[in-house]
Structure 1
Amino acid sequence: MTLLALVGIVITPLVILGLATLLTWVERRLLGVWQNRCGPNRVGPGGVLQAAADGIKILFKEDWTPPFADKGVFVLAPAIGMMTVLLSFAVIPLTFSSSIAAGLNVGLLFVLAMMGLGVYAVVLAGWASNSKFALLGGMRAAAQMISYEVFMGLALMGVVMMTGSFSLRDIVMAQSGLWFVLPQCVGFVVFLLAGIAETHRLPFDLPEGENELGAGFHTEYSGMKFGMFFIAEYAGIVLVSALITTLYLGGWQGPILPAPIWFTLKTTVLIGFFILLRAALPRPRYDQLMALGWKILLPLSLLNIVVTGAVLLLHTAG
C-alpha cells in the first residue's frame, strides 16, 4: 500500500465528518433563506461556528444508556451506521485516480453492500432500545430502506449495461461523450427518489415521524451516540449526491476547471437540492411511501432495464 493511499485512509473520514458537521449549519441557513427567516447568525460570522458549538455541546451532554436496553447492541448500532457510510466513500472517485480504491472493479456493488449493512444500524437501535416507539421506528426504517434498495439497484442496471462494468471509474469514463442523466433519465429519477428514502430525509423521513413515533428509532439515545446517527445521516446526503454525480452527471468531467472542482460543484448543487426539498414538500403517509415504491418505481425501473437492453441490442446488431 502506497503512502498516498495511507494518507487518504486517514484524511477521507476526517473530511467527511467535517463536511457532515458543517452541513448542519448549511441546512439551517438554506432553510432560513427559503422560509424568509434568519437561521443561525450569532456564533461566528454568519453563524458559521454554530456547527462547532453544537459539536462541543453534544460532547459534554450526558451519554446515558437506559437500564432496560440491551447495552452492547445499543452502543454498537450508531457505530454501524457511521462505519458503513464512511467505508462507502473509499470507492468514490473525485478524479481518475483519487479515491482510496479507485481501481476496484466492483466499486458499485461495494457501495450498495455498505448501504445494505446500514439498515442494521436503525433496526438494531430500535430493537436494543426496548421501547415501543423506537421499535416501530426501526421496523419502519427496515421496510423502507430494504424496499428502496431494490429500486436503487434496479435503477443502476441501465448504467451498468451501458458501461459494461461495476467500476465507478469506468462508469465516469464512459460518460466522456454524453452524461448518463440523458439516456438514463428514468433511472436517474428512480435512483434520486430511492436515495432520499435510503437516507430517510424529508419528505421520506417516516422512521423519524415525530407526530406518531416521538423521534423514532433513536428515541432513547442521547449524547454523542445520538449525534452519531445525525452525522451519519448528513454524511449519507453527501454520499448519495456524490454517487449521483458519478453515475449520471459525468463525475469529475467538465471543461476548463480542474476535475476535483467539477466534482465538488455538481455534488454541492445536489446537496442543496436535498436540503431545499425538506422545505418544499410535505411528508406522505407511510402506506403512500411504500405504494410509490412498489407500484410506481418498481415498474419504471424494470421498464428502464428492458428499454435499455433493447436499444443496446439494436445498436449492436446495427
Structure 2
Amino acid sequence: MGTDFLLGLIVLIIKSAVVLLVVLTLAAYLVLFERKLLGRMQLRYGPNRVGPYGLFQLAADGVKLLLKEDLVPDGADKLLFLIAPGILTFTTLTVFALIPFGGEIHLFGHTVPLVIGDTDIGVLIFLALSSIGVYSVALGGWASNNKFSLIGAVRGVAQMISYELPLSLSLVPIFMLAGSLSLVDIVDAQKGYPFILVQPVAALIFFICGLAESKRIPFDIPEGENELQAGFHTEYSGMRFALFFLGEYINMLLLGALMAVFFLGGWHGPWLPGPVWLLLKTAIIPFLLVWTRGTLPRLRYDQLMHFCWKVLMPLALVNIIITGAVMAA
C-alpha cells in the first residue's frame, strides 16, 4: 500500500509538472503568435528584431517585466492588491487538471491515465473555478484605490457573471447526451462522433461566452483603453501586471481545450496520438480569438449586456428544451 501510494504521488507530480510546463510555454508563445498574426493582418511586421524571426522577444519581455519596479499605490489595500493577479492565473491553471489529454498508457506494469484528476463532478468544479476567477478582477480594481480601476472592475465583474449563466446552460445538453459530469466520460461519449454535429447551437453559445469570459474583443469592455486607461489593472506594473496578462492567454488555451473536450471529441482522432489531436483541436480557438481581435470592433456596454440576457440566455434555454424533447422522443 505504501509503495503504491508513493508511486501514485510521483506520477501525479510528474503529470502536473509536464502539464504546467506545456501550458505556460504555449501561453507565452501565443503572445508572439498573436503579435505576428495581427501584424500580417494590419500589413506590418510583428516582432522581428530579437533573435531569428523575433523568437527571443518573449525572453526580452520577460526580463523587462522582471526588472520593472513593482509599485503599490498610496491608500491601496496592500494584501488584496498583491494577491489579486494570482487568483485568475491559479484558477485557470487548476482547470487543466481536469482535462483528459489522452487515453491510458502502460509504464513499468502500471496503467497511467493521461489526466491529472478525473472526478464525477468535473464540470461543476470547472464552473466553480471560473466563478472564483471573477474575484481577481473585482479585487484588483477595488484594492487599487483608483476610481477608474474600480469602474473597470465593476464593468468586468458584471460582464463575467452575466456570461457565466448562458455558458453554464450551454453545457446542459452535453451532460444530457453524455450522461455524466466527468470530462473523461464526456470525451469517451464522443468516440463515434463529436457533439458539435448534434449541438452546434450549444457550441456557438459556449464559444461566444468563453470569448466574453476571456475579455477579448469584441467583449474587452473591462479594459476600454480610451475610457479607463486599461481598466481594472491600471495601477499594476512589473510581474503582477504580467500575471494578469498571462492569465488572459492561459484562458485562451483553456477555452480551446474545453471546446475540444465538450464539442470536438477531445483527444479522439485517427492515426495521430491522442495528445497531438487535443493540441491541434485546441489551437483552432486561439487562432479564432486573434482573428476576431484583428477584425471586429468593441461593443458598447449596453449592446454587450443586451446580447447576453436577451439573445444568448433564451437561446440556451430553448436549446435545452429541444434537446430534452428529442431525447425523450
- Normalising by the residue count of structure 1, what TM-score does the alignment of the two structures yield? 0.97
Matched letter for residue 271 of structure 1: P
Identify the match of residue 40 of structure 2 among 33, 54, 67.
33
Identify the match of residue 224 of structure 1 among 239, 242, 245.
239
Task: Provide Cα deviations, 1:147-205, integer angstroms capped at 9, x if missing partner.
Answer: 00001000000101111101111111111111111111111010000000001011100
Identify the match of residue 151 of structure 1 among 143, 166, 188.
166
Corresponding position of 1:17 = 24
State the alpha-carbon separation in 2 of the partners of residues 156 and 52 from structure 1.
39
Q: How far is the alpha carbon of 1:9 from its aligned partner? A: 2.1
Map 1:1-318 → 2, pairs under 5 A: 2=8, 3-96=10-103, 97-101=113-117, 103-314=118-329
Q: How far is the alpha carbon of 1:233 from its aligned partner? A: 0.5
Unaligned runs of 5+ in 1: none
Aligned-partner SS, 1:208 = coil
Matched letter for residue 142 of structure 1: V
State the alpha-carbon separation in 1 of the partners of residues 25 and 270 from structure 2.
29
Task: Provide Cα deviations, 1:235-272, integer angstroms capped at 9, x if missing partner.
Answer: 00000110001100000111111111111111112211
State the alpha-carbon separation in 2 of the partners of residues 48 and 202 from structure 1.
25
Change (3 A) 1:280 1:151: same
Q: How far is the alpha carbon of 1:10 from its aligned partner? A: 2.6
State the alpha-carbon separation in 1 of the partners of residues 167 and 324 from structure 2.
18
Task: Provide Cα deviations, 1:40-76, integer angstroms capped at 9, x if missing partner.
Answer: 1111111111111101110000011112211000001
Q: CA RMSD in A?
A: 0.9
Aligned-partner SS, 2:267 = coil
State the alpha-carbon separation in 2 of the partners of residues 254 and 280 from structure 1.
31
Task: Tell me the number of residue pairs that the alignment of Structure 1 and Structure 2 aligns.
Answer: 313
Task: Provide Cα deviations, 1:188-231, integer angstroms capped at 9, x if missing partner.
Answer: 01000000000101110000001111110000111100110000
State the alpha-carbon separation in 2 of the partners of residues 187 and 269 from structure 1.
17
Matched letter for residue 191 of structure 2: S
State the alpha-carbon separation in 1 of the partners of residues 132 and 139 from structure 2.
11
State the alpha-carbon separation in 2 of the partners of residues 309 and 58 from structure 1.
51
Q: How far is the alpha carbon of 1:35 from its aligned partner? A: 1.8
CA contact (8 A) 2:73 2:145 kept: no
Unaligned runs of 5+ in 2: 104-112
Q: Which stretch of the first structure deviates more once superposed, 92-101 or 53-62?
A: 92-101
State the alpha-carbon separation in 2 of the partners of residues 15 and 100 from structure 1.
14
Task: Provide Cα deviations, 1:78-104, integer angstroms capped at 9, x if missing partner.
Answer: 011111111111101111221211x21
State the alpha-carbon separation in 2 of the partners of residues 23 and 52 from structure 1.
14
Aligned-partner SS, 1:181 = helix
